[in-house]
Amino acid sequence: MNLKPSKTSTVIIVDKGKGSTKTLQVKTKHISRIRHYAASILALILILSGVIIYLENRNMAQQEETSKALAQITKLKKSIPIDTPQVKKTTDAQSYIQDIQNKLQTINTYLRKRGLKGFSTKGVGGGDGNGVESKLTDSEKYSAYDEYLDRLLHAVAFTPMGYPKISSLTSYFGYRSDPFESDHAEFHPGIDFKGERGDAARCTADGRVVGAGWNGGYGNCVRIAHTNGFETLYGHLSRITVHIGQKVTAGEKIGEIGSTGRSTGNHLHYEVRKNGRPVNPISYLSLNK
């Protein structure tokens, strides 16, 4: 006579300290599959670890690309000669200007890899194809490039780039289901990063703090103006570590992640605004957009 295996098994838990036992009813199929469950959990942990390592490496690459761009610009600015003997000859001057243009194209490559539009060099130094260049002195050409590099350096330094928190995204820019009322839709003006209470939130560009305190549904919130029409916002913080009027640099800690305001759990809400209007921050995260 064959007996059918029981659908449930009894697990006995012994508490040696109190000398008592407890029983727990578990479906037999779960016990037989425990190795599969353990393997699945281990695989999930390995995948999550891999994602975190990948994001950290990508952020390091972003910082390296930014450093390269800033170093190139600074080097160019320091090397522009005004009326120096070695560039008096027309051929020398043209060669020098061509070298600057080539380096500017390299800088543009760094920026385009960040998902940003490159800066046009047309017309810099009078090279607009209308014969204007021939009317400019070497000094005027170099001054034009110097002014251009000033603008370029400013734009790179003050444009939000990279991650305020290295982690996975839990919510994206655009319309979504309201987390408090699932039958309603709401516009989400930023993106949310997964995090634990106390994790550091870092600013993504140089700027000045224009808001640091409670801000309605954002809870504890920091707003940073970047002087070129960009503004970034960091919401639901458990702690703010900057104050209004303070100047901050890219990568500097501005607060700690939390769940203040209209929030369902610990995370970092991040917004990028251009001329007062929210834009999709995804465009400013990756090097290879």
Binned at pLDDT 50, 70 and 90, residue 220 comes out as very high
Q: DSSP alpha helices (H): ranges in the chain?
A: 28-32, 34-79, 90-113, 138-158
What's the Rg (C-alpha) of the chain? 28
pLDDT digits (tens, 9 = 90+) for 32-75: 667 777 778 888 888 887 777 777 777 676 667 667 776 766 66
User: Residue ranges per domain, the chain?
Assistant: 58-158, 169-284
Asked whether residue 217 carries a pLDDT value surpassing 60, the answer given is yes
219 pLDDT band (50/70/90 cuts)?
Answer: very high
pLDDT of residue 86: 46
In eight-state DSSP terms, residue 84 is -
Superfamily of 169-284 according to CATH? Glucose Permease (Domain IIA) (2.70.70.10)
- What pTM, to 2 d.p., does this model score? 0.51
Closest CA to 193 of 283, 132, 259: 259
Assign residue 108 a region (left: φ > 0; alpha: ψ between -120 and 50; beta: otherwise): alpha
Confidence of residue 222 (pLDDT cuts 50, 70, 90): very high
> Model confidence over 169-204: pLDDT tens digits?
888 888 877 777 666 788 889 999 998 999 999 998
